[in-house]
Chain A
Amino acid sequence: MHIPVEGFMYPNEVELQWSVLIVLYPFITGLVAGAFILASLERVFRVQAVKPTYRLALLTALSFLLVAPLPLQLHLGHPERSLEMYLTPHRSSAMAMFGFVYLWYLMAVLLLEIWLDYRRDIVLKSQTAKGLPRLIYRILTLGSDVLSDRSLRIDERLGYFITLIGIPSAFLLHGYVGFIFGSVKANPWWSSPLMPIVFIFSAMVSGIAAVMLLYMLSSRLRGKQIDIRCLDKIAQYLMYTFIIDFSLEMLDLLQRIYEADESFRSLDFMVHTRLWTSQVIVQILLGTVTPIALLGLTQLFSLTESIRKRIYAVAGCLTVIGIFAMRWNVVIGGQLFSKSFLGYTSYKMGFATREGLLTAIILMILPFIILWILVKILPPWTDEESTSASEAIPVHAAS
């Protein structure tokens, strides 16, 4: 395959190493971290308004976290050796340590928190359900159906602690993804101490926007009324985190422009040519400035509920697109220029190849399928089903 090159690349640099799948990876882990932080708002910071999204946010985080390692696996030259990351982790490697951060986050935080939170529902369903679902619920109870008041209180307390640990863990998870890029001193487009922080805030932005959209979509699909108070609150948080995220990115940009080090001329040219559409148009104008302005409108003026909902939907979509563009520009942009600063290569994405567009699309659909299954097994809704469930409680608790 011929790859068009402009200027001079070191001969081994012509071929891009990290494809669109590696763009998906920080995008997906970002959604995980963001969704979890939104969930913890309710539990740790007692923001009652966002409660309707609490369980949905947790399940969203889980379904995306389960998919997060897949793009990496597909990308590896030897996927069968990936366990080596856990068997002989290299302490000085950001990537090896990330394996453990991921495992910690999945096993010790997310799964545990969801299990504790749903345990009562699981036990109740293991007694009422039939057939295969019954078996699933029975396995999930781990063979213990204790539902005494005291046991539930202990669960609550433990769950609270886990959420407390979960917040720094979520920061660690995505901050670490930022560090994987930010610590590469050979690459001036990546190498920046701000990278982990920018990644954390952009993760929160994308996760909050995604849960907001999922909440609106699921309410519509179920024919339920959207809790507008909840939606307003989420949109407000989205705007604040987005403003912080945007300020950090602009700070990084200003510093680069003002310092104008040896790499500046090369990177500046790249932004004005190869990255113009994805960076300036999509990421900054369409994906950042527009949603902040739209969300700002809802704060400044008192608009009707239906207009607000529409604005939130548009702003949410633009935000997710903008954050995806940001990941693209970091990962792909960081490989388009030569480390000699004398030339540029280009990225040609395949379609039905192992690391092609089709794979990327399937990987992006997969979390939604998992989420759908999770929602079937563990309904997150607080408005109808749980009412019947809670009515059932006294009977079992008393027995």
Chain B
Amino acid sequence: MTPITTPCDLNHRSLARFPVSKTIALSQRLLFRRAFRTPRVRLLFKDIEHLLRLAAVMLIALVAFVVLRAAVVPKSFGQYGHYRGDAIAELAARPVAHAGHEVCEGCHTDVVDQKKLGRHAGLHCEVCHGPQARHADDPASVKPLLPDTTVICARCHEANSAKPHSFPQVASADHSGGLSCNTCHQPHRPKIEDRGKPATGAKK
């Protein structure tokens, strides 16, 4: 292993021989066109040919990136902030599933009148009947199913110590013994003594 001139060896020795100031001076001379004609600089130019080629490769990659970026980034990106501006409109354009009680009440005025008198007055239709936008879209062919009162009533009224104490709740096994709730209660106007009385508000 006598005269191994690995690049590492060259490195340490060359450090002293090749100070920074000299590099700067050389590169400064490169800037002047006239200097190109001097043989010394032409020699340097030859010595750093591989680095210039490397710089060219990097520059091409950078330009390719900039071009790609301009081509690929969505036009609306950055419209309101660091995101695709069109995303807001896309999210807002999603069709609704629950029509909302105002739409229901436009047609089902009879139920509204009934509900008004009982304790379910504040309940919106889709609490029990489920999402009805498709029914609102096409009332003729899309018919909502009648909810099963044994299931639907218990969800709210089954006794549970975590429910507020003032909320009406029963243990359904003791309360009805398996009978469905609408045997006795009319869901739109649940208080039993109200049953059979005219719905149009003759009472009170």
Check A-B contact in the complex, CB < 8 A.
Answer: yes
Chain-A contact segment, one of B8-16, B142-150, B177-185, B196-204:
B8-16
In the bound complex, how far is the Cα of B94 from the Cα of A192, in angstroms?
41
Q: List 25 A-B contacts (CB under 8 A).
A: A42-B8, A46-B12, A51-B8, A54-B8, A88-B73, A88-B77, A90-B82, A91-B82, A117-B7, A119-B50, A142-B54, A143-B53, A144-B50, A144-B53, A146-B46, A146-B47, A146-B50, A155-B7, A156-B7, A156-B14, A158-B51, A160-B15, A383-B1, A387-B1, A393-B5
Interface check A83, CB cutoff 8 A: yes
User: Which residues does chain B contribute within 8 Å of A256, judged by CB atoms?
Assistant: none
Chain A interfacial residues counted at CB < 8 A = 41
A2 to B190, CA, bound (A): 42
Interfacial residues, chain A to chain B (CB-CB below 8 A): 42-43, 46, 51, 54, 83, 86-88, 90-91, 107, 112, 115-117, 119-120, 141-144, 146, 148, 150-160, 382-383, 386-387, 390, 393
Closest partner residue, chain B, to A143 (CB atom)? B53
A341 to chain B, nearest CB (A): 21
The residue on A at minimum CB distance from B72 is A87
**CB under 8 Å from chain A, chain B span 57-71:** 57-58, 65, 68-69
Chain A neighbourhood of B48, CB < 8 A: 151, 154
Known: A144-B49, A383-B1. A159 touches B7 (CB 8 A): yes
Report the interface size class on chain B: 20 to 34
Cβ-defined contact, A153 with B72, below 8 A: no
Known contacts: A151-B47, A157-B15, A158-B51. The answer to whether A86 contacts B65 by CB under 8 A is: yes
User: With a CB–CB cut-off of 8 A, which chain A residues contact B92?
Assistant: none
Q: CA of A146 to CA of B52 in the docked complex: distance in angstroms?
A: 12
Within 8 A of A (CB), among B1-59: 1, 3-8, 10-12, 14-15, 17-18, 23, 43-44, 46-51, 53-54, 57-58
> How many angstroms from the CA of A264 to the CA of B47 in the assembled complex?
63
Whether A153 lies near B18 (C-beta < 8 A) is yes
Q: Could you say which residues of chain B place their CB within 8 Å of the CB of A152?
A: 7, 10
Closest 9 pairs between A and B when the two form their complex, measured CB to CB: A144-B50, A151-B47, A156-B11, A142-B53, A150-B47, A153-B14, A144-B49, A156-B10, A156-B14
| Contact (Cβ within 8 A) B7 A390 | no
In the complex with contacts A90-B82, A159-B11, A382-B6 CB distance below 8 A: yes
Shortest distance between the CB of A324 and any CB in chain B (Å): 32
- Which residues on the A side are within 8 Å of B14 (C-beta)? 153, 156-157
Instruction: Closest B residue to A51 by CB, please name it.
Output: B8
Chain A residues in 8 Å Cβ range of B18: 153-154, 157
Chain B proximity of A292: nearest CB distance (Å): 31
Q: Smallest Cβ distance from A162 to chain B, in angstroms?
A: 11
Instruction: Tell me the bound Cα distance from A140 to B73 in angstroms.
Output: 33
Kindly list chain B residues whose C-beta atoms are within 8 Å of the C-beta of A51. Answer: 8
Question: Taking the nearest CB of chain A, how far is it from the CB of B141, in angstroms?
Answer: 37
Chain B, Cβ-Cβ closest to A93: B82
- Which residue of chain A has the shortest Cβ distance to B74 in the bound complex? A88
Q: B12 contacts which chain A residues (CB < 8 A)? A: 46
Q: Is the CB of A153 within 8 A of B4?
A: no
